[in-house]
Each structure stands twice: as C-alpha cells, then as structure tokens.
C-alpha cells in the first residue's frame, strides 16, 4: 500500500521543555483544592507516610510505565498501544475518550476561576459568597437535570478560555505547549508562593498548620487512609489516561527517562505540600475570624473551597483583593497547563489516525469539544452535571483504564521486561526487577481494591443526593458513551498505517525473527511478572 | 504550633522538597546524551495479537 509522506514527528526542544510541560500537566486543580482536604481528613501529618509510600510504589512507577510506552512506541495513546499489540488500540481510544470528557468540564472550572480573578478585585460576592456562587454567578437550577438555559456570565469567559487554549494547541508541541508551560509554570510557582507567604502571616495561620500537620497515628492502621493516599497520588500525577504516553512520545530518543520521572513526581508532590500549607494557613485565619475551629469548618475541599471558602477569606482580610488575585491566578494557570495536556492527547490521536495537520487537529477536535462544552456546561445545570460526570469518569473510568493497561502489558502481552529494558537503555538511573513487581502486581492490586470499593458504593448508593435517573444517565451513561466512542474510533480506518513502525533495538534482546512462535514458552524468568 | 506538628512539617518538607532537589541535581549531572546511536532500528516490530 502506497502512502503519502507523513510530516516529521514533533519534538520538545529538550528535556527541560518536557519536564516543565509534564509538571504543568501534573499540577492541576486537584493539587490545590483536593490534596489539603484529603490529607487533613485522613490523619493529618500521619497521612504523609502512606502518601509518600504511594508516590514511590505506585505514582512514579506508573509514570515511568507511561513514559516507556510513549517513548518506545512514539505515538499518541491509540498509536502507541496499537504498536504494542493491534487490539490494544481500543485501550488507547478509551483513554482519549476519557480525556475528551474531562476536557468538557475542566475548561468550565478554569473559566469560573478566571471570572473570580476579576471578582476578587471588587469582592463582587459581597457578604454572601455561597449565595453569589450558586445564585448570581452560576444561576443553578432548582432541580438537577440538563438544561439548555445558557448563563451568559459563564458562557463568555468559557468561550475566551477555549479560544486561548485552541490557539496554543494549534501552534504545536514546541511553539505552543512548551512555550506556554515554560512561561506558565514559573509564573504559577511565583504567584502561589506569594499567596502562601501572605497566608502564613495571617492571624490564626499557625492554628491551621497545627490542624494540618498534627499526626493522628491511629489513621495508619485504617486501610481507607491508605486507599485515599494511593488515590490522591494516582489522580494527581495525570497517569494512566494517555497524557504521559502522548507527552513522552515527543521526547528525543536518548532521554534520561527515569531521572525525569523522579523530578516530575517529586515536583508534583512538592507543589501539593505547599498548597496544603497555604490552604490550611488561610483556613486557620478563617476559623479564627469566625471564632470556631478548623474541625468545625465545612466545604474545605473542591469547588466549595475555591469558590466559597476562599472568597470568604478574601473578604475578611486586609489586602484581600491582592490575595484573591494571587489565588485565582494560580488556580487558573494550574488548570490551563493541565487542560493543554488533556487536549493534546485528543488532538494527537486524531492527527495520527486521520492524517490531520497540527492545526487541523487542534481546530477540528478542539472546536467540537468547545461547542459541546459550551452547550453542556455554560448552562444553569452545569454544577450537578460536572460533579457527577467527574465522579464516575475518575473513579470508574480512569481507574479501569489503569488496571487494563498494567494487567494487559504485564500479564497478557508480557511486555513489561521490554519496557524495563527500554527505560534502562535510554536512562542513566537504572531500574530493577522491583519496578516490574510494582507495576505488575502492587499497582493493579491496589487499584483493584479502589475500583471495587468505589464501584460497590456507586452501585449501592448512587452519588450524593442526586436522583438515580440523573446519576444513571450522566454517570453510567457517560461511561457507556466513552466505551462506545472508543469502539467506533478503533474501528475506523487509519489514514497512514502505524504498523510499519520499528521500535529501537534493545541491548540483549532476542531479534524478533528468532523468537519462538507464539504459544511456546519463552524465558520464564522474564515473565515474572 | 505544637512541637509534633512542627517536626512533621519539617520532616515532610525535607523529604518531598529534598527528593525534588536530589532528583534535579542528579538529572543536571547526567544530562541527556546526543540523539544518535540508539535511533538505528535493527529489529522488525512483531505485532502481537491479543
């Protein structure tokens, strides 16, 4: 079959550009609004022990697993997985579909945050931040459902964010994504540090830190705390749904992958810890102003932390508007760099399968996402819809994707030794057999426990106070749509066949032609796990 | 702050930020090598069906 020449694959300018982009992707909204609350509720200072164990035994090993697949097979998730094994393309598209759905609502939260950046200057929420957020700003409908009533105050900022990110995406990996992260990430760190420093000098800040760091050692014997730690690490690092596979596919051949993974993993946790300090110093101040304690505060995580508690804090403190601008600018930037990585997963997959140019990929795929996102999430029912979709896509979709990927590569395809050799061939920091045990046994084991406990809870109790028809349609329905989308996209024809790709030869590897036929045993030692 | 909370704060910062510093220093001392030798493909890919 004759093929028209395909354009040369894009590349990061070097390791530095990749590291900044990978850190930018890992540091997202969850680092700022999820980690502090999760740590506090799961043993405070004691939580940091399971958290670090999870980082070293699951987070960084899976990060390296993603890097190895993307770097060795040099493609977006569907291409890379197909090059591992033809039918594994489906898993790649499953990950792409998950990213597509997350993009739809992630963009909206960034648009809210950008709006609040402006609201902070005048403290537009007055003395009722909760009423302002759900009432004047989001105009949340009385009953959950899917309304088509567009809220202009949400729709315009959302449109602006879409124009901005699609423009960056259309510039390509080096001129778009890399430049955005090279500028955005240092700015984020500086703004966030300034916010944390200000928070530390507020009255009551030390009480907040006390609450956050005082260890409850008994939590260590609670399996739920360990699951929470693994979940936090897993969701925070942007692993197992295509991002790191896609990003690492743009790296040069000779790249110190393992050391890079350590830098990215520790950088993500460093920022997260900083966020814990900043958020709890600010909450300590709020508790003191309200004459209460941290333990009695409600809504100290997620949407309510950012859009209700922080506005309250901003209203209470001297110099509040500056603090507000620092906080919401940080939240917006952290979200934007993560959003770009999600978009690249989808855009790259479509570029490769359908032979689109970089610009076509960005505009066509991004354009469709923008329209769906505006239709579904600039309306009065955005909040319950995104809350529900996020819960199901994360706890069922992403966790299932990670289990499939690790089990497939380890136990079905038995290609983990090949990935280990690849990592070692290009890196100076060598990894041993322990890595295969972690990726092949520990990670799927822990994820399976997370998956089953999450699934049982969702099946038995639904989610939150939402009616069953609502969670069934938007939670399970969205997951069904993701699976259906993955099947359809896998079935479509490739514009250029990706199968002629030849991965790098590895040291001490048996040439493919000399391998025994399938079904006969190979070196047993390599297959464990 | 209580002494326990302070110790936990210092130890966690030392471990996490220390880990970042150590891995960054390591990477700076072992920068990427030139693109080259490893890029030569020698073995044809084997497609594995599931």
Domains of chain A: 15-499 (1.20.1740.10)
Would you state the pLDDT for residue B43?
A: 44
- Can the peptide bond before residue A160 be classed as cis, meaning omega within 30 degrees of 0? no
Nearest residue to A210 via CA among A318, A268, A287: A287
C-alpha torsion sign, points A40, A43, A44, A49: negative
> Nearest to residue B31, comparing CAs of A261, A425, A427?
A427
Best B7, B21, B23 member to test A by mutation, with max A CBs in 10 Å, is B23
Quick one: which H or E segment has residue A418? helix A416-426
Q: What gap in Å lies between CA A191 and CA A175, rounded to an integer?
A: 24
Mean pLDDT of A440-467: 94
- Within 1-50 of B, beta carbons closer than 8 Å to A belong to 1-2, 4-6, 8-9, 12-13, 15-17, 19-20, 23-24, 26-27, 30-36, 38-50
| Shortest alpha-carbon distance between residue B29 and chain A (Å) | 10
pLDDT band at A78 (very low <50, low <70, confident <90, very high): very high
Separation of first and last alpha carbons in chain A: 38
Report the mean per-residue pLDDT for chain A. Answer: 92
**A439 CA to centre of own chain:** 19
What average pLDDT score do residues A288-302 get? 93
- Nearest CA to A427 out of B26, B20, B45, B25 is that of B26
| pLDDT score of A508 | 61
Q: How far is CA A511 from CA A72, A161, A416, in A?
A: 16, 49, 17
∠ CA A259-A263-A269, rounded to 5°: 145
Q: Give the containing element (helix H, strand E) for A347.
A: helix A320-354
A71 and A254 Cβ atoms separated by less than 8 Å: no
Q: State residue A505's pLDDT score.
A: 83
Instruction: Determine the Cα–Cα distance for residues A60 and A85; give it in Å rounded to an integer.
Output: 24
Q: Across the strands, what pairs with A215? A: A44
Backbone φ and ψ for A189, nearest 5 degrees, come out as -65, -45
Q: CB B43 to CB A512 under 8 A? A: yes
pLDDT of B39: 42
CA dist A278 and A282 (Å) reads 6
Residues of chain A found within 8 Å of residue B41, distances taken between Cβ atoms: 502-505
Q: Over range B5-32, report the average pLDDT.
A: 95
Which whole number is the average pLDDT over A57-64?
97
Residue of B nearest to A511 (CA): B43
Distance CA B27, CA A527 (A): 31
pLDDT at A144 over 90: no
Comparing CB atoms, the residue among B2, B26, B31 nearest residue A214 is B2
Q: Which residues are registered as beta bridge partners of A150?
A: A379
Residue B4 C-beta-side C-alpha neighbours within 13 Å: 11
Task: Flag if A15 and B6 touch (Cβ within 8 Å).
Answer: no
Give me the pLDDT at residue A5, please.
55
What ipTM was assigned to the predicted interfaces of this complex? 0.90
Residue B33's pLDDT is what?
58
Question: SS3 string of A488-517?
Answer: HHHHCCCCCCCCCCCCCCCCCCCCHHHCCC
Rounded CA-CA distance A295/A293 in Å is 5
DSSP result, A113-180: HHHHHHHHHHTTTTT-HHHIIIIIIT---SS-S----B-HHHHHHHHHHHHHHHHHHHTHIIIIIIHH
Coil, strand, or helix at residue A44?
Answer: strand
Contact indicator for A227, A453 with CB cutoff of 8 Å: yes
> What is the per-residue pLDDT across A212-270, written as a single tens digit (0 to 9) for each?
999 999 999 999 999 999 999 998 998 999 999 999 999 998 889 999 999 999 999 99
Kindly write down the DSSP assignment for every residue of A50-117, as one continuous string: HHHHHIIIIIHHHHHHHHHHHHHHTS-HHHHHHHH-GGGHHHHHHHHHHHHHHHHHHHHHHHHHHHHH
Mean pLDDT of A414-420: 96
Query: If contacts are CB pairs under 8 Å, which of residues 432-491 in chain A contact chain B?
Result: none
For A238, residues 6+ apart whose C-beta sits below 8 A from its C-beta are: A25, A26, A28, A244, A338, A341
Give yes or no for a contact between A198 and A350, defined as CB atoms under 8 angstroms apart. no
The model's confidence at residue A504, banded by pLDDT at 50, 70 and 90, is confident
Confidence at residue B8, expressed as pLDDT on a 0 to 100 scale: 96
Of the two residues B40 and A276, the one the predictor is more confident about is A276
- pLDDT of the residue at A148: 81
Show the DSSP H helices in B1-50 as ranges: 3-29
DSSP state of A75: S
Phi, psi of A148 (to 5 degrees): -105, 15
CA distance A150 to A377: 8
Split at pLDDT 50, 70, 90, the class of B46 is very low
The greatest distance separating any two alpha carbons of chain B, rounded to the nearest whole angstrom, comes to: 63
Q: What is the pLDDT of residues A515-524, one digit of tens each?
A: 555 544 444 3
Judge whether residue A385 has pLDDT over 50. Answer: yes
**What's the CA gap between A210 and A329, in Å, rounded?**
27
Residue of A46, A260, A504 lying closest to B27 (CB–CB) = A260
What is d(CA A8, CA A430) in angstroms, rounded to the nearest whole number?
Answer: 30
Confidence of residue A67 (pLDDT cuts 50, 70, 90): very high
Determine the pLDDT at residue A124.
96
pLDDT band per the 50, 70, 90 thresholds, residue A501? confident
CB atoms within 10 A of CB A187: 12
**A residues 50-69 lying closer than 8 A (beta carbon) to B:** 52
A43 has pLDDT over 90: yes
Rounded Cα–Cα distance for residues A159 and A370 (Å) = 8
For residues A50-61, give the mean pLDDT: 96
Q: Kindly determine whether residue B16 and residue A263, on different chains, have CB atoms separated by under 8 Å.
A: no
Q: A48 and B9: CB-CB below 8 Å?
A: no
Per-residue pLDDT, B42: 41
Please compute the mean of the pLDDT values over residues A171-181 and round it to a whole number.
97
Gap between the Cα atoms of A120 and A218, Å rounded = 40
Closest-CA distance, A390 to chain B, in angstroms, reads: 29
C-alpha A505/C-alpha A508 separation (Å) is: 9
Query: Is the pLDDT confidence value at A529 over 70?
Result: no
Give the model confidence (pLDDT) of A296-333 as tens digits. Answer: 998 899 999 999 999 999 999 999 999 999 999 999 99
Contact (CB<8Å) B6/A213: yes
Band the pLDDT of A509: cuts 50, 70, 90. low
pLDDT of residue B31: 82
Choose among A402, A401, A432: nearest CA to A417: A432
Chain B environment of A213 (Cβ under 8 Å): 1, 5-6, 8-9, 12
A259: chain B residues, CB-CB within 8 Å:
23, 26-27, 30
């Amino acid at each position: 079959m004759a093929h028209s020449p395909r354009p040369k694959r894009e590349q990061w300018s070097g390791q530095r550009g990749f590291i900044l982009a990978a850190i930018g992707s890992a540091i997202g909204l969850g680092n700022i609004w999820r980690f502090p609350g999760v740590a506090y509720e799961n043993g405070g200072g004691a939580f940091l022990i399971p958290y670090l164990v999870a980082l070293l035994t699951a987070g960084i090993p899976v990060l390296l697993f993603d890097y190895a697949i993307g770097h060795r097979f040099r493609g977006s998730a569907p291409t890379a997985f197909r090059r591992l094994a033809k039918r594994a393309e489906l898993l790649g598209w499953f990950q792409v579909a998950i990213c597509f759905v997350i993009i739809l609502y992630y963009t909206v939260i960034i648009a809210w945050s950008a709006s609040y950046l402006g609201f902070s200057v005048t403290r537009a929420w007055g003395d009722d931040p909760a009423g302002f957020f759900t009432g004047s700003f989001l105009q949340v409908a009385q009953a959950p459902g899917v309304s088509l009533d567009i809220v202009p105050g949400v729709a315009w900022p959302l449109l602006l964010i879409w124009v901005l990110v699609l423009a960056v995406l259309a510039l390509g990996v080096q001129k778009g994504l890399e430049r955005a992260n090279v500028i955005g990430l240092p700015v984020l760190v500086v703004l966030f540090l300034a916010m944390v420093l200000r928070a530390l000098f507020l009255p009551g800040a030390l009480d907040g830190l006390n609450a956050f760091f005082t260890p409850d050692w008994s939590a260590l014997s609670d399996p739920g705390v360990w699951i929470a730690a693994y979940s936090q690490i897993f969701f925070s690092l942007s692993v197992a749904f295509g991002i790191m596979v896609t990003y690492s596919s743009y790296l040069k051949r000779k790249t110190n992958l393992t050391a890079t993974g350590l830098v990215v993993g520790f950088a993500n946790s460093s920022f997260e810890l900083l966020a814990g300090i900043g958020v709890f110093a600010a909450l300590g101040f709020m508790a003191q102003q309200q004459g209460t304690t941290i333990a009695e505060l409600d809504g100290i995580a997620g949407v309510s932390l950012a859009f209700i508690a922080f506005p309250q804090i901003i209203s209470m403190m001297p110099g509040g508007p500056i603090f507000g601008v620092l906080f919401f600018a940080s939240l917006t930037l952290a979200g934007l760099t993560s959003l770009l990585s999600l978009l690249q997963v989808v855009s790259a997959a479509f570029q490769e399968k359908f032979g689109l140019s970089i610009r076509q990929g960005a505009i066509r795929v991004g354009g469709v996402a923008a329209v769906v996102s505006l239709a579904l999430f600039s309306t009065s029912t955005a909040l319950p819809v995104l809350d529900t979709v996020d819960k199901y896509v994360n706890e069922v979709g992403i966790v299932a994707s990670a289990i499939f990927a690790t089990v497939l590569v380890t136990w079905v395809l038995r290609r983990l030794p090949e990935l280990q050799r690849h990592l070692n061939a290009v890196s100076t920091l060598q990894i041993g057999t322990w890595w295969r045990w972690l990726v092949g046994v520990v990670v799927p084991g822990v994820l399976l426990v997370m998956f089953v406990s999450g699934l049982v809870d969702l099946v038995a109790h639904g989610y939150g106070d939402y009616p069953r028809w609502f969670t069934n349609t938007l939670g399970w329905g969205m997951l069904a749509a993701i699976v259906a989308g993955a099947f359809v996209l896998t079935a479509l024809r490739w514009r250029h066949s990706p199968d002629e790709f030849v991965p790098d030869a590895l040291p001490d590897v048996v040439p493919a032609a000399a391998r025994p036929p399938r079904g006969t045993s190979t070196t047993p030692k390599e297959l464990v796990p | 702050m209580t002494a326990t909370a302070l110790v936990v704060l210092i130890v966690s910062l030392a471990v996490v930020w220390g880990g970042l510093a150590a891995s960054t220093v390591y990477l700076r001392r072992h920068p990427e090598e030139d693109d080259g030798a490893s890029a030569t493909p020698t073995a044809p890919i084997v497609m594995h069906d599931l």
